[in-house]
Amino acid sequence: MDYQKAEKEFLRYVKEFDTTKNGIAMKISHSIHTADLGGKLAKRLELGKEEQTLCKALGLLHDLGRFTEFKENGNYNIDSTFDHALAAINYLFKEGHSKDFGIPKKYESIFKKAIYYHNKLEIEEEHLNKQELFYTKLLRDIDKIDILRQEASSYEWKYDEPSKEVKKEFFENHLIDQKKVKNETDRLLLELAYVYGIYFKESYQLLKDTDNLELFMSVVVVTKEKEEEFEKIKENVRNFLEERMNTLC
């Protein structure tokens, strides 16, 4: 796969949108950063050059649907029925633009499955073959790693009072279903809980090396009466990260 062709078409595609809008600029940055993480993780997993290019391209193109979403809705509302993963797949394959990005036929099923499942709570593994599952897990990992950087640099966060259900899910080390989010603090815990949904040991190492988790937690505004509670939250994700780095094969 020719990554330069994919990148050139990506940059052409995003020019169709108003790049002066923060929401568009943010997703361009996220796409490029995720592509870079894809190449880095592929190297750590000792994949070949062609596979490294594939990983970079998955990172670059996984959020193509976000641009249409922002143009139509003016935001990235988690309550929206707009499925940006499905929108990306439709643009690439139903509308026939995969050739513009230089996606080879042999990788089409990987792109379809990995992009479709990158934003879902869980992977329905029975619907994927071994190769599709591997790249789907990889894309979900690099996406989560960069989302923490993106959220830290793009929004203001405050820890206040989470709902009981979301707080319980968080301390049980579960990914949090967007449908359960009731307030901004729930949303904050949803973002931090991404740490619980990473698959590869090398991904946890990459997360630690980027310092994206610490960056995200450092920008959170915490009232004095909530400081102790938020320290427990930070301790939980840090301990989980260290444990996974030490125990995964």
Per residue in 18-54, pLDDT tens? 999 999 999 999 999 999 999 999 999 999 999 999 9
pLDDT the model gives residue 35: 98
Full DSSP string of 69-100: HHHHHSS--TT----HHHHHHIIIIISS-TTT
- Looking at residues 47-69, what average pLDDT do you find? 97
pLDDT the model gives residue 81: 80
pLDDT the model gives residue 219: 97
pLDDT the model gives residue 225: 95
Q: Is pLDDT above 90 for 77?
A: no
pLDDT the model gives residue 171: 98
Q: What's the CATH fold of domain 1-152?
A: Hypothetical protein af1432 (1.10.3210)
In the chain, which residues fall in CATH 1.10.3210.10? 1-152
* 216, 192 Cβ separation under 8 angstroms: yes
pLDDT the model gives residue 72: 84
User: Could you give the CA distance from residue 109 to residue 217 in angstroms, rounded to a whole number?
Assistant: 36
Q: Please give the C-alpha separations between residue 234 and each of 38, 176, 197, 210, 245, in angstroms, as whole numbers.
A: 26, 16, 16, 17, 17
pLDDT the model gives residue 80: 64
| Backbone φ and ψ of 106, nearest 5° | -65, -15
Global confidence as pTM: 0.96
Question: What average pLDDT does the chain have?
Answer: 95
User: Could you give the CA distance from residue 216 to residue 35 in angstroms, rounded to a whole number?
Assistant: 20
pLDDT the model gives residue 249: 64
Q: Could you read off the pLDDT of 199-210 as tens digits, one per residue?
A: 999 999 999 999
Q: Is pLDDT above 90 for 177?
A: yes
pLDDT the model gives residue 79: 56
pLDDT the model gives residue 248: 80
Q: Could you read off the pLDDT of 88-124 as tens digits, one per residue?
A: 999 999 999 999 999 999 999 999 999 999 999 999 9
Say which amino acid occupies 110. Answer: I
Ranges 27-41, 66-80, 220-234: which has the least confidence: 66-80
Contacts of 2 (CB under 8 A, 6+ apart): 53, 102
